[in-house]
Structure 1
Amino acid sequence: MTLPPTSTGPSTGSSTATLRAATAADAPVIAELVRELAEYEREPQAATAGAEDFARALEPGTGIGCVLAEVAADGAPGGVEVAGMALWYTTFSTWQGRQGMWLEDLFVRPAHRRAGIGSAFFGELGRICAQRGFGRLEFSVLDWNTPAHAFYRALGALPQDGWTVWRVDGERLAALPGTTSS
């Protein structure tokens, strides 16, 4: 999918963004984007995944996908720069009896924001959902990220009140009853 020409700032000038499915070969740039996202979300220490983790995750049959946005950029390898990503995985709704999509991370580099890339990502994710018969596209947004809230509302997304995200990780995950350590 190619987007119309956009003005994305000094790093790329006027360019055309193209969306494409990521492959395991894109793992290094995905790891880089995730670290940039972690910085933006004020948790740089939390991004511990490396390129090898993303290469493994993107192998066929994992139920994990990633869409990259690329723009022409002088001086970049191959004359192309990755402007952003939308990384997702499949879920299952027992109420609907079918799969859905969880958008784990959507990130557009600051120099490329407000150029239509975020909207294009949602268009592509919607197309994938329709093609695969998915019943939902869900994601979470940090409470303090009001620009993202406004963007998602403008797309027609609605916050789901009455639900709180819970997490068990690290030492607490290893300490769950019946869990064995190696």
Structure 2
Amino acid sequence: MIRRATRADVRAMVELVHELARYEKAPELCHLTEQQLRDALFAPTPALFGHVAEVDGAVAGLSLWFLNFSTWEGVHGIYLEDLYVRPEHRGSGLGKALLQTLAQECVQRGYARLEWSVLNWNEPSINFYKAVGAIPMDEWTAYRLTGDALRNFSA
């Protein structure tokens, strides 16, 4: 079952985000706490949204997302920050159901697109995304300012 995340899901969701960081070979970069996620998801005007995949009463997967805006289309879209399903539940359709839920959000709200990033080495995910009709944006390169570079540039 896919549903919107609740406050009761926060602990499990943080665990899943940390599992995702280990899967992506960067656990040392993941610092998310329960309080941070709770504050982000349940603020009076939240900027982060989430869904969970529940199996037998336990959270087995998640999607965390936020709105972006296409100046060319003139409407919002969804940027999927994290999509993760526990290894023992992969292949059961939960990942597809989570992604479909976000596609439905886009269609129902009149959003122009659903976007995300995937690591170049993550062939299982790349194959899954291509199978559902997603296309890689090969002509675009993501850039990021963070840490010292961000602080130095802001000065």
Band the TM-score falls in, shorter-chain normalisation: over 0.9
Alpha-carbon displacement from aligned partner over 1:71-112 (angstroms, at most 9, x marks no partner): 11xxxxxxx211100111000111111100000010000000
Equivalences for 1:87-166 in 2 at 5 Å?
87-166=64-143
CA displacement at 1:61 relative to structure 2? 2.1
Per the alignment, residue 47 of structure 1 pairs with: 30
The structure with more strand, counted as a fraction of residues: 1
Q: Structure 1: state its 5+ residue gaps.
A: 1-17, 73-79
Aligned equivalents of 1:54 and 1:83: distance in 2? 17
The structure with more helix, counted as a fraction of residues: 2
Letter in 2 for 1:66: G
TM-score, L = length of structure 1? 0.81
| Pair 1:35 & 2:35 matched | no
CA displacement at 1:54 relative to structure 2? 0.4
Computed over aligned residues only, the root mean square deviation of the Cα atoms, in angstroms, reads: 1.1
Count of residues in Structure 1 that have an aligned counterpart in Structure 2: 154
The secondary structure found in structure 1 opposite 2:3 is: strand
CA displacement at 1:63 relative to structure 2? 3.0
TM-score, L = length of structure 2? 0.95
Alpha-carbon displacement from aligned partner over 1:41-86 (angstroms, at most 9, x marks no partner): 00000110101110011024223211100111xxxxxxx2111001
